[in-house]
Structure 1
Amino acid sequence: MATMKAASELRLGLGGFLRAHRERLSPGDVGLPDTARRRAKGLRREEVAALSGVSVAWYTWLEQGRVDTSRQVLDAVARTLRLDDTAHRHALALAGFAPGEAAAADVPAVVEPGFVDMIDRWSDSPAVVLGPALDLLAWNRAYVDVWPDPAGVPADGRRNLLLLLAGDEAHQRVLSEWEPVVVDLYRQLRSRADRRPGDEGFERLTARLRSARPELDDWWACRSVGDFAPRTVRLTSHRGRTPRSYGMNLLLTPQGPEGAVILVMTPKSLTEPATKDSPSPDAPASGVPRP
């Protein structure tokens, strides 16, 4: 019974995902003439069905989560909807064609000692190990030299990078242009959350995001998915040092908690002279959360 319910929820998730992408396209995007008589936004279901080589009834059932589909049909629909590689892989995963299930949000917050040792060696590069729901699991000396110390945030779901960037003024002072980073991180999170419908950890996080920033509800309701794109950011240390440019990258970990990633910020020495700031004496030796 539980397996049937999970399969039904995945079908509904796939249907909602396809519908959201259909509604973003205009007829001109797929080579169809546009008319002023359209009342609904985006493409019509019959247009997607015709371009994908399936019946209108079948495509309607697909969006409603009432049928399973073949890989061939889903590939055709993905082409019609102009899904990029990340969105296409996500649709395949929801339909059961992609290997590897996303990790649950509530995995134990335990980090391999080797991870802590590794990021502690990056003395000039702030780095943090993030769990499946982007909870901060471990961080290095350089991280707390730039960002507020995560040890000061209760580890009850609030020690979460998305929550802190979206709702904490101290974090927003470090990264004043936080919005595009949060959007990309949330898109990355959705690709995991959609593959585990009903996961309480992901649902609690989204509820907290909506509570913290209700005016951004369009973000939290968005069905977009994507991989976090490397970027250059300008960080102003919470210790009052001169702003500095960093390259921000999200790295998959080869071991450790399932679904963990490392967010690392590497100083951009080519854009400005590097400064040899010593770690603060009150910074912890490593970011393993204290009891």
Structure 2
Amino acid sequence: MTDTAQGVRGALRRELGGFLRAHRELLAPADVGLPRTPRRRTSGLRREEVAALSGVSVAWYTWLEQGRVDTSRQVLDAVARALRMDGAAREHALALAGFAPEGPGGPNGLGGPDASDALATPHAVAVNHQHLLDSWPTSPALLLGPALDLLAWNTAYATLWPDPAAVPADRRNLLLLLTGDPHHQRLLPAWQPLAMDLYRHFRTRADRAPLSARFGQLTARLRAERPDLEEWWDCRSVGEFAPRTMELAFSDGQLARYGVTLLLTPEPRGGAVLVQTPAH
């Protein structure tokens, strides 16, 4: 194994440990059928309780949370059940441990040990997808990078939303725009549910690319620009973006509803196409 691969493996173990610890701290003893004792100082489960529920030793589970050991799929499944993980969280834990289905770019196509920080050639990828975006003349559409950076858009998008071409290049990121741009928030008053689900989608990819500078830079910028959303940035919840309907409010008082779908692109460590379809 190369030094780079060893570094990625170690970083993924630490991400897995932090993910397990976050889930353990969210559970109350009553959630798993245990009594709350008077001497308990925290609301979360103790490590020894998770170890007992999972059928492993306390020392081994402690090492797992510390990112010091690898694990088998069978044992990780037992830990996930003990921590009452839902399907998305369980799949994420398995991916961090290296058990996700292998795609062309690593687990779930999100990149192997030698993956770079971004799409290999963002400009070329944008050009390749522009004809697809333009094929939707009435459906605003965006091509997004792995960290939800805006790589390309169609005329319908630039007409409905603030034109990305007029946005400074370093701010062309969907999370930055939804959480920090007044124009986006006026057009979409209920922006929080959409932004939070996109952040969960982002977290899924960030955890699986722990050495990526772009994910780290964006997380730091979100924390700096919106410290009031600290509970978002500290959240370890993950999940794939689910289609939904959103309502836009125009300056003339008119309202419009759009269905929103996120289509994953096939490139290794690729991003996604966000399509907004007028809803009647």
TM-score relative to the length of structure 1: 0.86
Please give the alpha-carbon distance, in whole angstroms, between the structure 2 residues aligned to 1:135 and 1:250: 14
The amino acid that maps onto 2:72 is S
- Give 3-state SS (helix, strand or coil) of 1:227's partner: coil
Aligned-pair distance for 1:24? 0.9
Match of 1:250?
262
Counterpart in the other structure of 2:137:
123
Alignment of 1:144 onto 2:158: yes
Whole-angstrom CA distance in 1 between matches of 2:153 and 2:77: 40
Contact 2:164 2:172 in 1 (8 A): yes
Contact 2:262 2:272 in 1 (8 A): yes
| CA displacement, residues 72-96 of structure 1 (integer Å, 9 cap, x when unaligned) | 1001001111112211111111111
Look up the equivalent residue of 2:59 and give its one-letter code. Answer: A
Work out the CA distance in 1 between the residues paired with 2:199 and 2:160. Answer: 23
1:175 corresponds to 2:177: no
Contact kept? 1:146, 1:236, Cα under 8 Å = no
How far is 1:119 from its partner? 2.0
Q: Secondary structure at the match of 1:40?
A: coil
Please give the secondary structure, in 2, of the residue aligned with 1:83: coil
Count of residue pairs the alignment pairs up: 266
CA distance in 1: counterparts of 2:274 and 2:198, whole angstroms: 11
Which amino acid is 2:278 matched to?
A: P
Q: Secondary structure at the match of 2:277?
A: strand
Candidates 174, 184, 193, aligned match of 1:161: 174
Structure 2: any 5+ residue segments left out of the alignment?
none
Could you say which residue in structure 2 is the equivalent of 1:18?
A: 20
- Structure 2 residue matching 1:244: 3-state secondary structure: strand
The Cα offsets for residues 30-88 of structure 1, whole Å up to 9 and x where unpaired, read as: 22223443211211111111111111111111111111111110010011111122111
Question: Given residue 26 of structure 1, which amino acid in structure 2 is its aligned partner?
Answer: A
* 1:199, distance to aligned residue in structure 2 (A): 1.1
Moved more, 219-228 or 93-102: 93-102
Equivalent residue, structure 2, for 1:49:
51
The question of 1:215 aligning with 2:228 is answered yes
Q: Residues 160 and 112 of structure 1: is their aligned pair in 2 closer, same or farther, counting only changes over 3 Å?
A: closer
- Flag the structure with higher helix content: 2
What is the TM-score with the length of structure 2 in the denominator? 0.89
Q: Which runs of 5+ in 1 are unaligned?
A: 270-291
With 207-216 and 118-127 compared, the bigger mean Cα shift is at: 118-127
Specify the SS of the correspondent of 1:247: strand
- Whether 1:65 aligns to 2:77 is no
CA distance in 2, matches of 1:237, 1:105: 37
Offset, 1:193: 0.9
SS of the residue 1:61 aligns to: helix
Amino acid paired to 2:210: P
Task: Give the conservation status (yes or no) of the 8 Å contact 2:263–2:273.
Answer: yes
> Is 1:130–1:260's contact at 8 Å kept on the other side of the alignment?
yes
Separation in 1 of the partners of 2:169 and 2:199? 20
- Paired residues of 2:246 and 2:259 also in contact (CA < 8 A): yes
